[in-house]
């Protein structure tokens, strides 16, 4: 804060979830819990406002994007507020539609928006906001869309090593108790959510809104991705999207790209490129992990992985749930995971990787072998059996169901008056 003569006498500065009041140059902190207790708690709820977040302030993507798109398509009279890490950068990026207001995720303004919103929509728990003093009011509704799909990685209560690492201080219980609805796409997820959210929140088996994209015409998305990357329409795309490790290790991202490109051409023919998309938590490692070579593209900053999946002919991951979205396209998927034992001990799996339809490779030689020996007929049969076993019901109408629910909530508020 720059001090002028007046600010030397009295000044106010915002710092994330706190305000600093300067009197004669001396700082006095007023933290968010105090502000919420004495001010935000008593602010009225705006009946038509929805506050939305994707992970911890990520860009326009995941399930909330497709719910927002459906709200806008229906021309519903709702005030849409997104919490993002950097509103200025996001506004300049053009990723968000003009109907959406952007607010800094880690700010008192975000808390104020949450305090006055009728509906909260999020893809992860709202731990940081509850820590900052957020109190859910009686007439507010909290919808969690979650961010995985038939996820193989264990969650929260099922992953004690993970819980021991995160600094949640018991606020996950407050988050669970505040839930009204959880969106699911399968019986598998229903059971998982009941256990990890302590039976709180009504589970709506609508499907995942972000997966509707696999049931619509992909022509426009294909053209969009190819235009962004400057690719001809006859070039084949392989997407490599590894997950993150809780301990931050990156030695496991060791694909031999040149060999992979040669193998893809040998097996499937044509010219191939590899798109590499790191998990948002690992984007700081882009230069270390992704080589700058011909036919290898870093798409880690591309806002919507679903669009990349739609445009790709093949997908490779280790433990990311994106591969379980990709299987809905019925296109070939592969697993390349060099640290399976370590990951299982650290985080844990709900089912073995070998029980999925995807051929599993622990090194580059095995990946090459799996690609060369890939049998599509056998793979397709395994995909259908896997989806049936998990009770998956994706059909391309999840966004519609989610917005139907939102309209129902909003209309109930009107009827109560």
CATH topology of domain 39-211+398-416: Rossmann fold (3.40.50)
CA distance 56 to 60: 12
* φ/ψ of residue 15, rounded to 5: -140, 90
- The yes-or-no answer to whether 39-211+398-416 and 217-390 have a common fold is yes
- Residue 356, sorted as left (phi over 0), alpha (psi -120 to 50) or beta, turns out to be beta
Alpha carbon 85 to its chain's center: 14
Judging by beta carbons within 10 Å of its beta carbon (0-12, 13-18, 19+), is residue 336 exposed, middle or buried?
Answer: buried
Q: Do 311 and 329 meet the contact criterion of CB atoms below 8 Å apart?
A: no
List C-alpha distances in Å: 126 to 64, 170, 185, 209, 413. 15, 12, 22, 20, 24
Q: Where are the domains of the chain?
A: 5-32, 39-211+398-416, 217-390
Please check whether the domain covering 217-390 is classified as CATH 3.40.50.12580. yes
The percent of residues above 90 in pLDDT, for the chain, comes to 76
Alpha carbon 375 to its chain's center: 31
Q: Average pLDDT of each block of 10 consecutive residues along the chain (417 residues)?
A: 50 65 63 86 96 95 98 98 96 96 96 97 95 95 95 84 75 94 97 93 98 96 97 97 85 92 98 94 84 94 96 97 97 96 90 96 98 98 98 98 98 63
pTM to 2 decimal places: 0.92
pLDDT digits (tens, 9 = 90+) for 104-158: 999 999 999 999 999 999 999 999 999 999 999 999 999 999 998 998 999 887 8
CA distance 55 to 126: 9
pLDDT digits (tens, 9 = 90+) for 168-191: 778 999 999 999 999 999 999 999
CA distance 62 to 146: 9
Per DSSP, the three-state class of 17 is: coil
Q: Do 300 and 325 meet the contact criterion of CB atoms below 8 Å apart?
A: no
| Two structure tokens written together for 118 | 């009728």
């Amino acid at each position: 804060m720059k001090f002028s003569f007046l600010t030397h006498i009295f000044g106010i500065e915002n710092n994330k979830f706190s305000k600093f009041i300067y009197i004669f140059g001396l700082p006095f902190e007023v933290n968010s819990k105090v502000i919420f207790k004495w001010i935000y708690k008593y602010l009225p709820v705006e009946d038509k406002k929805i506050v939305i977040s994707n992970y911890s302030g990520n860009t326009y993507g995941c399930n909330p994007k497709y719910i927002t798109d459906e709200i806008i398509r229906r021309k519903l009279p709702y005030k849409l507020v997104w919490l993002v890490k950097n509103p200025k950068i996001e506004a300049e990026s053009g990723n968000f539609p003009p109907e959406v207001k952007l607010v800094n995720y880690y700010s008192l303004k975000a808390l104020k928006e949450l305090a006055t919103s009728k509906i909260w929509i999020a893809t992860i728990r709202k731990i940081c906001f509850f820590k900052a003093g957020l109190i859910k009011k009686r007439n507010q509704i909290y919808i969690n869309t979650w961010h995985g799909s038939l996820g193989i990685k264990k969650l929260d209560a099922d992953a004690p090593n993970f819980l021991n690492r995160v600094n949640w201080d018991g606020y996950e219980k407050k988050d669970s108790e505040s839930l009204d609805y959880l969106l699911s796409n399968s019986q598998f997820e229903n059971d998982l959510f009941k256990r990890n959210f302590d039976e709180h929140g009504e589970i709506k088996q609508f499907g995942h809104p972000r997966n509707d994209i696999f049931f619509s015409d992909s022509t426009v998305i294909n053209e969009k991705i190819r235009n962004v990357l400057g690719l001809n329409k006859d070039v084949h795309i392989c997407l490599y999207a590894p997950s993150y490790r809780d301990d931050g290790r990156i030695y496991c991202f060791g694909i031999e790209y040149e060999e992979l490109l040669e193998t893809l051409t040998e097996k499937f023919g044509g010219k191939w490129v590899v798109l590499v998309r790191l998990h948002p938590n690992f984007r700081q490692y882009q230069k270390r992990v992704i080589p700058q070579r011909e036919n290898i593209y870093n798409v880690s900053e591309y806002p919507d992985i679903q669009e990349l999946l739609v445009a790709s002919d093949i997908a490779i991951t280790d433990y990311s749930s994106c591969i379980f979205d990709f299987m809905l396209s019925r296109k070939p998927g592969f697993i390349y995971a060099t640290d399976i034992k370590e990951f299982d001990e650290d985080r844990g799996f709900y089912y073995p990787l070998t029980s999925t339809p995807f051929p599993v490779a622990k090194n580059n030689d095995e990946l090459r072998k799996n690609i060369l020996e890939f049998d599509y007929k056998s793979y397709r049969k395994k995909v259908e059996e896997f989806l049936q076993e998990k009770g998956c019901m994706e059909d391309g109408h999840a966004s519609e169901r989610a917005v139907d629910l939102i309209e129902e909530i909003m209309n109930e508020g009107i009827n109560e008056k």
